[in-house]
Structure 1
Amino acid sequence: MAHIYVFSPSSAVRDKAAFRRGVKRLQALGHEVEIDNAALDCHMRFAGDDATRIASVGRAAASGADIALISRGGYGLTRILPGLPYKAIAKAIDSGTQFVGLSDFTAFNQAVLAKTGLITWQGPALGEDFGPQTEPDDITLACFEDLVAEQGEGAGWQRPKAEATLQVRVTDAVLWGGNLSVLVSLLGTPYFPPIDKGVLFLEDVGEHPYRIERMLTQLLHAGVLARQKAVVLGQFTNFKLVPTHDKGFKLSTVVGWLRSQIKPPVVTGLPFGHVPTKVLLPVGAKVDLFTDERDALMVWGHI
């Protein structure tokens, strides 16, 4: 059984039913769930004003929980990065608290990595992953339980057939990244980690392929992509193509263009993003990345 602390550092929780279902599901798994006293606050589109959300991060760090889990993503963390209690967060991580989230939480992951060099996790959110009306995804649950049990050592997946001839061998590289839109918004700030020879993973939701390409172009021109050992693409979902205008321009076009621009290999198919099936990824950990025909394996060992 784990002590899970649920807090809301980004957007306000609109789906209270999903929030309650998520809490009950975690409790049914045998976990103790502690809810931050501002988790359901609302200030405009945010889960409380900036000071309230900064304080909620501080309470999560002071909770002594095994897992500090966000209620949802959305928007709001980039506003409060200068005010986050990084010393308290580092102390909590050193004491065993694992901070977990995705989407807007990418800002937290990168800022903590830039400021402390410590590991946080990209993974599920309470409402999106534990709170849907249907049962949570089995792989997502299994990966979360592995984190709770301190047994997670890697993630494997199958790549598209067209990628079978692309063989990759990467060792001892820092894993970093997350939501592409949020990551790009941190460029040029103290909260963008200066990672060289890393494995950069990316995902996004609701972004047309041309906008994905535009953000990748920004990372390209900033020199970020060329400095990595590999770029791993997760799931890019919930966008709508316009056939009469796109004229064949699609996500695979962007992937092909990206491969033509950089020497580091571009690996696709990572089961992570705004999708039901998601692995947990340790941002800031050293990883090895291997492929064998269509199979891909990312290993970080016991953390």
Structure 2
Amino acid sequence: MFTRRQFLTSCAVSTLALASASKSAIAKNSESLKPARLKPGDGVGLISPASAVFLQEEVDIVVDAVRGLGLVPYLAPHLRDRYGYLAGKDQDRAADVTNFFADPKIAALIPMRGGWGCSRILPYLDYQIIRKNPKIIVGFSDITALLLGIYAQTGLITFHGPNGLTSWKPEPTEFFRRVLFNGEKVTFENQKDSGDANRLMQVKNRIQTINPGKARGRLIGGNLSVLSGIVGSPYVPNLKGAILFLEDINENIYRIDRLMTHLKLAGVFQQLGGFIFGQCRQCSPDADYGSLTLEEVVWDHIQPLGIPAWFGAEIGHIERMFTLPIGAEVEIDASLGKIQMLETGVK
């Protein structure tokens, strides 16, 4: 597995650059666009906007998953390309995305996997074509950059949800169907583990309230490392009053601290109306030195803001994956750990 720290370096971002990006996003996000909901028989474009797909078997697995959803898979021309660790040249990967948005037989775009590479293609996408042809695009991890970039530039609601090679078990598939097929206003909250039924307390999937309260705003977020890497660019949406959710994987605690410090120094946290920290799998302190805990790092950055916030949401590199609408209005309850969609993500 490629770790983002091999590709993303921390950068200093000036307040002027952030302000410029925010103004651009404000102008483009004055009105959100919604894609049409999915229906059986719709076409799905399979893309590789980030890391390469090395095995034909992986393609076959995703094709089966799409057909299992009652949809028709179409393979992007550069799906199996490889340029080092990337799935082909930047311009070719971007062209696959743009061309599927322009293709009338395609209703949704699903990436094969994340890894690294979406940030590199953002300057090469044709946002006018995307804006004129609003469609569903869904994914997570490195796909965060693509989802946020498209929303920032076009106002199109995108979806933090399964990649093609994600485990399509019943629960994540149900969320996918409810949000993208049925057009429901879903309430998301951690599931109580069946093993806790015979205990006096909940052990798994617990949440911790950082600051209690409720808040409403546009839901924005994704992978912390990826978001930190594009802060200061025109591909970060306007975050004023937003509900921000973050998750990550395979990062030492001091790196999480560095990434969150970057967001703080860039003025991101000060704009928020609410905050959710999801899962950080394989995020551990350096064994050779003393360390803050992950909880201490998150509390240090978020608690002083005084905004409704909680820790431990089932969002991240996990099997039970929500399909969250980026750009849609939601209400959160930090005491209960709930996200309530106030509008549908599709029309």
TM-score (norm 1): 0.88
Q: Secondary structure at the match of 2:340?
A: strand
Is 1:278 aligned with 2:321? yes
Is 1:179 aligned with 2:179? no
Q: Secondary structure at the match of 1:26?
A: helix
Letter in 2 for 1:218: H
Aligned counterparts of 2:211 and 2:93: Cα–Cα separation in 1: 44
- Alignment partner of 2:119 out of 75, 78, 81: 78
Aligned counterparts of 1:46 and 1:193: Cα–Cα separation in 2: 25
1:20: which partner in 2?
A: 60
Q: Which segments of 5 or more consecutive residues in structure 1 lack a partner in the other structure? A: 131-135
Letter in 1 for 2:225: S
Is 1:253 aligned with 2:327? no
Letter in 1 for 2:228: V
Is 1:210 aligned with 2:250? no
Q: Following TM superposition, by how much is the alpha carbon of 1:243 offset from its aligned partner in structure 2, in angstroms? A: 4.6
1:29: which partner in 2?
A: 69
Structure 1 19/238 Cα, relative in aligned 2: closer, same or farther at 3 Å?
farther
Is 1:142 aligned with 2:174? yes
- Alignment partner of 2:149 out of 111, 118, 121: 111
Is 1:90 aligned with 2:112? no
Q: Which segments of 5 or more consecutive residues in structure 2 lack a partner in the other structure? A: 1-39, 191-204
Letter in 1 for 2:100: A
Structure 1 63/270 Cα, relative in aligned 2: closer, same or farther at 3 Å?
farther
| Count of aligned pairs | 290
Q: Secondary structure at the match of 2:215?
A: strand
Aligned counterparts of 2:207 and 2:88: Cα–Cα separation in 1: 46
Q: Following TM superposition, by how much is the alpha carbon of 1:166 offset from its aligned partner in structure 2, in angstroms? A: 4.8
- Does the 8 Å CA contact 2:211/2:307 hold for their aligned counterparts? no
**Deviation sequence 1:110-159 (CA, Å, 0-9, x none):** 212221222111111001x14xxxxx332211111223413232232147
Q: Following TM superposition, by how much is the alpha carbon of 1:25 offset from its aligned partner in structure 2, in angstroms? A: 2.4
Aligned counterparts of 2:213 and 2:55: Cα–Cα separation in 1: 42
Aligned counterparts of 1:119 and 1:28: Cα–Cα separation in 2: 25
